[in-house]
Structure 1
């Protein structure tokens, strides 16, 4: 038995260099990581999908080992980087799996209706959609969530727990939580608060804007997420055709990392239905 082929590369952009890795062969899956990670975050997905798919992981601009930027990365540039990477690799049969911040990149790219894009997975993210614009009954639930759940994130940091990993992962899978922290620490020089503020400033879209996406969409939410309201996905799916939602119980913001077997099975089934 041979391991899937693997190669590393660098995408030259006018103002930075984007690190990427390609593993496996077949139809392409491009993985877009979140604010607490980089290309390494997806090791459990690459190992699962690479025997049947070309798995592309990359580090967003400003995230190690992509080149740093003096004023930090501007998420407005993410979709252009993603489009250029897909063109650079000459991918014509693409699925995108986006985690949290990666949803900003993937959603804005998908809205350009690229012919190569066959499916979009939004994991624990609403991307550039403003949750305050979701419909009822979830809009009322959001008010309560903002009061009870969202404030927990800073408190978790104070206890040494990464909010994107979550309290359950820290208690039940301490080694995985430590690994998550190690990956996140690779971006210790990055002002993530500034990047986060820029991301939130881009949340201007209504759920109905997703009707312009030309491919099927799957939202995957962790029921214990304290970063993104998990029920927002249900409100979005209700008004966007060809959109599905999967909830993973006993999981926080990083379902792909905390519950990889369940996450991979859900994504695998979604791709099989294309």
Structure 2
């Protein structure tokens, strides 16, 4: 039997800041992927290949992240959701399923809050998006504070040994090739000031779960048990507070379970999407 690759196209959507780069692969219901601070559209190579036979997969590079246009002074995360809205309108999707990793959670959660009727399913991977982390901690912030101190020390040790925090030491040791690829994709951002972007992410993460008592978009939070960037215990806490939330922990994954444990991640997302039809 001859294998035929899913249809694939690339495009650039003109926006006020410049061009937003995107790729479309496959056919079927629309499934869009929003990458994290250490990535771009290529971050989702294992997801697009898996889902394209049954979904129209769209991956894009956030504004300021190559190959989208650079922005003087860097991007403001508050603008991400409007770029996603413009892209969805441009591609004329009547409804969508959204997957956001880390920084991408800001993009997809804000879009879903603003356009809940258009979002069939929402996946937040290693992220609480624009929700305030400390305020989302059921302990009132004490557990989060202890986690943050320990995570900072682990991340510093990793950096001293050339390990990207978005994978972590254990994941890098298990999969050095994946760690190399992740770091290579990260460098494609060039001179982008990621510290400044992080400041913007912290500034815009001010929502509380009490604001989402009427948020009925089916939402899956996936977290990695070895994450030193996002506190995995918040996934279940946030899911429990949402009307239609659920959470799953991948114990032997760091901050990037979609990248490190793609088969497990894809299976969880696939089953979740199937339940929302």
Render the CA deviation track for 1:103-158: whole Å, top value 9, x for unaligned. Answer: 00111111113432101000000011111112434843212202212332233222
Deviates more, 1:68-77 or 1:108-117: 108-117
- Aligned equivalents of 1:81 and 1:136: distance in 2? 33
CA pair 138-253 structure 1, distance change in 2 beyond 3 A = farther
Match of 1:148 among 128, 147, 150: 150
Contact 2:109 2:130 in 1 (8 A): yes
Q: Structure 2 matches for 1:50-89, cutoff 5 A? A: 50-89=52-91
Q: Which residue of 2 aligns with 1:224?
A: 226
- Aligned equivalents of 2:201 and 2:32: distance in 1? 21
SS in structure 1 of the partner of residue 117 of structure 2: coil
Q: Structure 2 matches for 1:57-136, cutoff 5 A? A: 57-136=59-138
Match of 1:166 among 159, 165, 168: 168
SS in structure 2 of the partner of residue 149 of structure 1: helix
SS in structure 2 of the partner of residue 229 of structure 1: coil
Contact 1:110 1:214 in 2 (8 A): no
SS in structure 1 of the partner of residue 32 of structure 2: strand
Q: Which residue of 2 aligns with 1:181?
A: 183
Q: Which residue of 2 aligns with 1:41?
A: 43
Contact 1:138 1:235 in 2 (8 A): no
Render the CA deviation track for 1:163-190: whole Å, top value 9, x for unaligned. Answer: 0011112111101100001100101311
Give the unaligned 5+ runs of structure 2. none
Render the CA deviation track for 1:59-116: whole Å, top value 9, x for unaligned. Answer: 0000010010111011110000000000000011310000000000111111113432
Q: How far apart are 1:209 and its partner, in Å?
A: 2.2
For normalisation by structure 1, the TM-score amounts to 0.97
SS in structure 2 of the partner of residue 17 of structure 1: strand
Contact 1:208 1:236 in 2 (8 A): no
SS in structure 2 of the partner of residue 118 of structure 1: strand
Give the unaligned 5+ runs of structure 1. none
Q: Which residue of 2 aligns with 1:194?
A: 196
Contact 2:147 2:231 in 1 (8 A): yes
